[in-house]
Structure 1
Amino acid sequence: MKARFLRLLHLAHRWLGTASGVLILAWFVSGLVMLYVPFPKLDTDERVSRQAPLQPDVLTVSPAQAATACPGKLRGARLAMALGRPVYHFSGTDAACSVWADTGEPVVVTPELARASAEAFLPDAKLGTVEPIERDQWTVYSTYRPHRPLLRISVDDAAGSVVYVSSRSGEVVAHTTRFERGWSWLGTVPHWLYFTPLRGDDTSLWRQLVLWLPVPALLTVAAGLALGLQRLRLRRRYPRGQITPYRGWKRGHHLLGLGGGGLAFTWLLSGWLSNHPFGLLEFSGLPKGAAQRLAGVAFSPADDLPLLKRQLAAAPGGREAEWYRFGGRHYLEVRGPDSSRRLDDQARQALPIPPQALADMIAAIEGQPVAQAELIHEADLYHYGRRNPAVLPAVRIRLADPEQTTWYIDPASGRVLGRVDAANRLHRWVFNGLHRLDFPPLGALPALRDGLITLLCLLGAALATSGCVIGMRRLRRQRPQ
């Protein structure tokens, strides 16, 4: 019975490994690439750094007046400059909408305007033709939906840039380079199966693939671990004192499996669980209506143009202004290349929100008493930065409930930075801990952590490569005549 079971286990490992070996190899290689080259994305800092300074004197239309030109319900607004003119960018439930702040007329995005926006984003660059697209390989995220169709413009520069202009607002919403695109084909794209046909409006096929493709890989590694330990001999060794009965590629595969098989299994398992298969490892979000209760008032575009000009005058050099709400009041955040300033509805510097005031609001939202509310100046195990530094100082509010639910809030704006309960803690340790090695003391030593991940990814890639070679040799072997 035991011999038959081992034979079945051996066959399962052989043929499942032959089928999934290349996929496992691709995951290790792509994970290593992702560590150093993220998927192309235009972040707020880069966008702001490329914008022209705001000119309050040329404003003639208030946000409320401009908003009348936009259909549907609006959720937010920004003020920026475009082609030397001020423009309000409104975000809506379905699509973005932009209105010139000097005339109140809606922005009509023409190919000429798109080219001008790209030229302002990349001065002195030689632009190609404007190509309307719905999406491509680098704009698969749903965050681009309000701006579709996009206007793609190739740029003849040393970096091989491609910029994407919103057909709704006329602003550049994405920027990629040849370096980012090339490495992403080896990194994020195969790792997360971010292929354009799978990431359209209907992502059901993509979800099924990321749910089921890791299963044979997990079974392969689990069977290999069991067989590897069963064939290992540390006391009664094989001939010539060997601990493994194999030679050549099989010997290397056996030893690599013993050294890195456990790691391969935990990485595959934690990566698979990050997709929450069958509801496993799901993390919770904010309580329903929490964001609205913290804001205290629904978004409504400001109708006081003199106030807006005073606010902008109080933050000279700003390149973008965005409205936000907290505690029933509207505020304006004016961003510059190096810093930002937050102004209240009296054009005064907005003061930090006291921890106790935030704690009272969270207690009312959660319906639980507060055990501790404090201002922290250093990252902790659940509020920390990876690619970007953590927002500090932050207010940490721990509730006196069975799960010790903890909120992290930016005292400068009241923005929720995170909410951690039992489900989120489990996700943090299973995914971030096992998959990204985000645990003490490596979290405080990024260079050591990156070096260790690099070494382990190479070990996993070597294990997968040896398995692929063995599988290919098995398939090429001729049957006896």
Structure 2
Amino acid sequence: MSARFSRLLHIFHRWLGISAGLLVLGWFVSGLVMLYSPFPRLTVDERVQHLEVLHGEAVQISPAEAATQCPGTPRGVRLAMLGERPVYHFSGGKPACSVWADDGRWVGPVSAEMALEAARRFLPGVTLTEPERIERDQWSVYSSYNAHRPLYRIAADDAAGTVLYVSSKSGEVLADTNRRERLLGWLGSVPHWIYFTPLRGDDLGTWRVLVLWLPPIALLTAVAGLALGIQRVRVRQRYPRGQITPYHGWKRWHHLAGLAVGGFAVTWLLSGWLSNHPFGLLEMSSPPPGSAQRLAGGPFRPSADVALLRRQLAQVPDAREAEWYRFGGRNYLEVRTPAGPRRLNDQAHAAAPIDVPTLSAAIEAIEHRPVAQAELIDHEDLYHYGRNSPAVLPAVRIRLAAPQDTTWYLDPATGRILQRIDAANRWHRWVFNALHRLDFPPLASLPGLREGLITLLCLLGACLAGSGCVIGWRRLFRRRPPPA
């Protein structure tokens, strides 16, 4: 490396580091926090734990009859209790549509009193504040809530500092957060994803520009620093006093940290940037259009048989929620309880798992390619595994006889598509999951070791970025000698 080029690279790294140093420091710290505390969400299992027992005898209206009250064509429907009354919640519409299952009337618009009552049933025995009507706040920025806006925000006077978000269309509790989750969210997910409320409204243009251009600035900073760090290190012909670095003080620590984790910083920043698919890079593919509908045997059709629904619910006395699904042209009911789900067929009997040959034939018809291998797996593999939530197991794995080695994973209990892996998705798995989350063998099967290694690397990365920030601060505000 010539002296002139080295000097230019040094200046380039210095000023890019000054502009992006705090950003990189924030990403390392927030990434470490996210490892242990993801963005707060209300999962299906958590929601079921707070629901009341379904009163099947109170259901007087079929889902098909209730669906006529909703605009458009629903893509799914759930049955639950709202207060003392059963209610159908239809999905796929904007706005969300819910219909009382006892008289067939539309639930919405939900009043503040109804929202407060829903919150009381979600958190019994806790003092609640008056509902505040909002469009969105920091913890309700997900687009999945758009069909339910505006929302009611209700704070609880409990030790955890719980805040609930209730739909103004369905009366359901959609999300809950507590003080700890919000604090860690501000330190983790919010700065890491740049998920600040003003940027995550209806117009995402500014947010997309930021996630497109900020990471490359940080990446170029890391690449330049790594090149300089390697160029300045001496292992054999060392600097005076046997040092491998010519620097002292903060610069010395910055150089050593860069040698230790500079490569990780580069791959981590690159994979994080590519996860947003800039300029179409690393885009993931989807199953062929209409795949889910073909597996279902046609579009979703709400059941018109109230008597069947009552018989099905009678089989599960502790039912809290029921959701319909279809496979092969038949309707099935998944009844959820605090102990787990039970699935019933259209004869009110336990639904048998869908066998491997049936699923294999369905995928062959969708892809128009022969199946090379179809099997039931009861363990995770390189592409079907869980992190924040367990992977669905057992699962049916179907490999096609195709150049891309396309592989499908399906849930044999319902026929639901879990994922479809082809060349594009395989690239994403190894470039993002492996490089950014260290999800590769053998670490993927050793969660404790993986988390420990990520923690160590993030701390070293924070030291690298933090020392760079100190050096940049001193450069900007150093005292210059007075002119002679």
What is the CA-CA distance between 1:92 and the residue it aligns to?
3.1
Query: Which residue in 2 is equivalent to 1:275?
Result: 276
Q: Could you tell me which amino acid in structure 2 is paired with residue 323 of structure 1?
A: W
Matched residue, 2:8: 8
Give the match for residue 23 of structure 2.
23
More divergent stretch after superposition (267-276 vs 68-77): 68-77
CA contact (8 A) 2:332 2:343 kept: yes
- 2:78 aligned partner: 78
**1:395-416: per-residue Cα shift (whole Å, max 9, x none)?**
0000000011000000000011
What SS does the corresponding residue of 1:345 show, helix, strand or coil?
coil
Secondary structure in structure 2 of the residue aligned to 1:408 = strand
Normalising by the residue count of structure 1, what TM-score does the alignment of the two structures yield? 0.99
Q: CA deviation at 1:315?
A: 2.1
Does residue 381 (structure 1) correspond to residue 382 (structure 2)? The answer is: yes
| Structure 1 segment 109-258 matched on structure 2, within 5 A | 109-258=110-259
Aligned residues: 481
Which stretches of structure 1, 4 residues or longer, exceed 3 Å deviation after superposition? none
Residue 34 of structure 2 is aligned to residue 34 of structure 1? yes
State the match for 1:102 in structure 2.
102
- Provide the C-alpha distance between the structure 2 equivalents of 1:199 and 1:326, rounded to a whole number of angstroms: 37
2: CA distance between counterparts of 1:403 and 1:131?
52
- Aligned residue for 1:434? 435
**1:161 shift after superposition:** 0.8
SS in 2 for 1:10: helix
Letter in 1 for 2:196: F
For residues 86-129 of structure 1, what are the alpha-carbon distances to aligned partners after superposition, in whole Å with 9 as ceiling and x for unaligned? 11111133121111111112113111110000000011111111
SS in 2 for 1:174: strand
Amino acid at match of 1:185: W
Q: Cα deviation per residue 1:281-338 (whole Å; 9 max; x = unaligned)?
A: 1111111111111111211221110011111112221100001111111111000011
Greater mean deviation of Cα atoms: 79-88 or 91-100: 91-100
Query: Matches of 1:106 and 1:275 in 2, distance apart?
Result: 39
- What is the CA–CA distance in structure 1 between the aligned matches of 2:302 and 2:345, rounded to whole Å? 15
Indicate the SS of the match to 2:470: helix
- Residue 2 of structure 1: CA displacement? 1.7
Deviation at 1:438, TM superposition (A): 0.5
Deviations 1:409-465 (A, max 9, x none): 000000111110111111101111010010111111111111111111000000101
Matches within 5 A, 1:394-409: 394-409=395-410
CA distance, structure 2, for counterparts of residue 216 and residue 80 of structure 1: 49
1:48 corresponding residue in structure 2: 48
SS at match of 1:126: coil
TM-score, normalisation: structure 2: 0.98
Q: What root-mean-square deviation, in Å, do the aligned CA atoms of Structure 1 and Structure 2 show?
A: 1.0
Quote the Cα distance in structure 2 between the aligned partners of 1:125 and 1:89: 26
Please give the alpha-carbon distance, in whole angstroms, between the structure 1 residues aligned to 2:220 and 2:94.
43
Give the Å deviation of 1:45.
Answer: 0.3
- Deviation of 1:245 (Å): 0.5
Structure 1 unaligned segments of length 5 or more: list them.
none
Contact persistence 1:297–1:329 (CA under 8 A): no
Could you tell me which amino acid in structure 1 is paired with residue 389 of structure 2? Answer: N
Q: Which amino acid aligns with 2:123?
A: L
The residue type equivalent to 1:78 in the other structure is: R
On the 8 A contact 1:297/1:328 being kept in 2, the answer is: yes
2:141 match: secondary structure: coil
CA distance in 1 between partners of 2:87 and 2:300 (Å): 19
* Alpha-carbon distance, 1:136 to partner: 0.7
**1:44-74, CA deviations, whole angstroms, 9 ceiling, x for partnerless residues?**
0000010011111111111122222222221
Maintained 8 Å contact 2:77/2:323: yes
- Which stretch of structure 1 is more off in the superposition, 26-35 or 276-285? 276-285
CA contact (8 A) 2:63 2:303 kept: yes
Which SS does the other structure have where 1:217 is aligned? helix
Give the Cα separation in 2 of the matches to 1:379 and 1:8: 49
Name 2:349's counterpart in structure 1: 348
Q: Aligned partner of 2:307: which letter? A: P
Of the structure 1 ranges 68-77 and 116-125, higher mean CA displacement relative to structure 2 is found in: 68-77
**SS of equivalent residue, structure 1 residue 79:** strand
Structure-2 separation of matches of 1:281 and 1:71: 37
Partner of 1:65: 65
Q: How far, CA to CA, are the matches of 1:375 and 1:299 in structure 2?
A: 27
Query: 1:254 and 1:89 mapped to 2: Cα distance?
Result: 58
Q: Which range is displaced more, 42-51 or 283-292?
A: 283-292
Q: Deviations over 1:149-196 (max 9, x none)?
A: 111111111111110100000010010101100110000000000001
- Given that 1:61 and 1:104 are in contact with CA atoms closer than 8 Å, whether structure 2 keeps it comes out as yes
Identity value in percent:
68
1:415 aligns to 2:425 (yes or no): no
Letter in 2 for 1:44: V
Structure 2 unmatched ranges of 5 or more:
none
